[in-house]
Amino acid sequence: MIDRVTIKDVANKAGVSVTTVSRIINGHYEKMRPETREKVEQAIKELHFFPTASARRLRTRESHTVGVLVGDIGNVFSTLLAKGIGDVLQPFGYDIVLMNTNNSLLTEKRSLERLYELQVDGIIVQPDSRFYHQFSSVVNRNIPLVIVDREVDDLPVNVSMVTSANRDACYRVGKIIKSRGYDNILAISAHFAQASGQIPRISGLQSAANDFNLSFHNIETRGHDRQWLSAVFPQQLAKLRGRTAVISLMGPVLFDILSICRQRHLSFPRDFGLISFDDWSWSQYVNDGVYLLKQDMELMGNIAAHQLLSQIKSGESSGSTTILPVSVVDHPSL
């Protein structure tokens, strides 16, 4: 194990007391001889000494770190969400501790406990759990908390949340599907987390199907690979009478659909209409472009970070809820 340089090492090298070194580190130079300050600063430089985070927190009562939990760091959504958070927090001197929960309730719980140990100033969570109990300990410790993207069913009114209008967007797209002469909606989902943004999306599509006399079907891919979907998807498509609009309820599922289309010699909109959630910039180059339901992930991160900063500065939970619109990018795939 590498020995770390301590404040005592600096004091010994400079020939001064630990108290003197501490005063200089804290910027208290009153009644201090310039040559003493110079000796200490030279010793700090030569020994490559940096105060520990715990010492800094004892001095300022703040760590200037914020914990950010995301469900899947490999998903572009999570990456852009984290970037949006960092763009706001870093200019204010906050560092981000980014943790990947891998859509696991147990990992999420352990990650929160680790953030408690680090004594972060606030936490932003893209939740895996649908239930507030998982996060109640954050509030009980008086740590500012903001929930982003996915909804928690029993979230108290004093806890802030930033999410997208998923249900409304899917209801509206259901109406568009009907207006373009389709008879069926076939959704393809991948519920990797208990609290999934796909839950309100499915609810919106089901409501639209009921109101506009469309048949609704859903293929859940969790626990299955692309080969399984390659067999199930064409079978389900063949069973449906009339024109079918297929909707990918999360961006990565679109990759699977496009791969299957190539493998099975299917094309859109000839064989089915195609819609996908999330703004994959390359999708505009697939055929003449894929019809998209676009979420602004960076803006969601920006707003969540501003809400957290407000709580940190005021010392009070605002409990505000922000629901961002989902925009439509109309391409000929539908």
What confidence tens digit (pLDDT) does each residue in 113-140 have? 999 988 899 999 999 999 999 999 999 9
**CB 280: neighbour CB atoms within 10 A?**
18
Q: Please indicate whether residue 70 or residue 119 has the higher confidence score (pLDDT).
A: 70
> Considering the chain, what is the average pLDDT of its residues?
89
Query: Please, is 107 exposed, middle or buried when counting C-beta atoms within 10 Å of its C-beta (0-12, 13-18, 19+)?
Result: middle
CATH code 1.10.260.40 for 7-51: yes
271 and 234 in contact (C-beta within 8 Å)? no
Which residue type sits at 267?
A: S
- Domains 62-164+297-324 and 166-294 equal at CATH topology level: yes
Distance, in Å, from the CA atom of 90 to the CA atom of 193, rounded to the nearest integer, reads 29
Which residue type sits at 156?
A: P
Domain 62-164+297-324: which CATH number of 2.60.40.650, 3.30.300.100, 3.40.50.2300, 3.30.420.40: 3.40.50.2300
Distance, in Å, from the CA atom of 8 to the CA atom of 19, rounded to the nearest integer, reads 9
Which parts of 181-282 are beta strand (E)?
Answer: 184-189, 215-220, 244-248, 273-277
| pLDDT classification of 6: cutoffs 50, 70, 90 | confident
Total number of residues shown for the chain: 334
Tell me the C-alpha to C-alpha distance, in Å, between residue 33 and each of 7, 29, 51.
19, 8, 22
Q: How is domain 166-294 classified at the CATH fold level? A: Rossmann fold (3.40.50)
Q: Residue 11 above 50 pLDDT?
A: yes
Q: What is the mean pLDDT of residues 320-326?
A: 94
| pLDDT in the model for residue 280 | 61
Tell me the C-alpha to C-alpha distance, in Å, between residue 171 and each of 125, 152, 175, 185, 230.
27, 21, 7, 12, 27
How do the domains of the chain map onto residue ranges? 7-51, 62-164+297-324, 166-294
| pLDDT in the model for residue 60 | 46
| pLDDT classification of 21: cutoffs 50, 70, 90 | confident
Distance, in Å, from the CA atom of 7 to the CA atom of 26, rounded to the nearest integer, reads 12
Q: Residue 297 above 70 pLDDT?
A: yes
Q: What is the mean pLDDT of residues 32-43?
A: 87
| H or E, element range at 227 | helix 226-239
Distance, in Å, from the CA atom of 250 to the CA atom of 270, rounded to the nearest integer, reads 23
| pLDDT classification of 279: cutoffs 50, 70, 90 | low
The tokens describing 237, both together, are 């498509």
| pLDDT classification of 29: cutoffs 50, 70, 90 | confident
Distance, in Å, from the CA atom of 125 to the CA atom of 67, rounded to the nearest integer, reads 8
Instruction: Tally DSSP H helices, then E strands, for the chain.
Output: 12, 12
Q: What is the mean pLDDT of residues 157-170?
A: 95
| pLDDT classification of 286: cutoffs 50, 70, 90 | confident
The tokens describing 217, both together, are 């079907």
Distance, in Å, from the CA atom of 307 to the CA atom of 315, rounded to the nearest integer, reads 12
| pLDDT in the model for residue 61 | 55
Q: What DSSP designation does 21 have? A: H
Q: Residue 3 above 80 pLDDT?
A: no
| pLDDT in the model for residue 283 | 66
Please tell me the pTM assigned to this model.
Answer: 0.80
| pLDDT in the model for residue 59 | 47
Q: Residue 82 above 50 pLDDT?
A: yes
- What confidence tens digit (pLDDT) does each residue in 166-210 have? 999 999 999 999 999 999 999 999 877 888 889 999 999 999 999
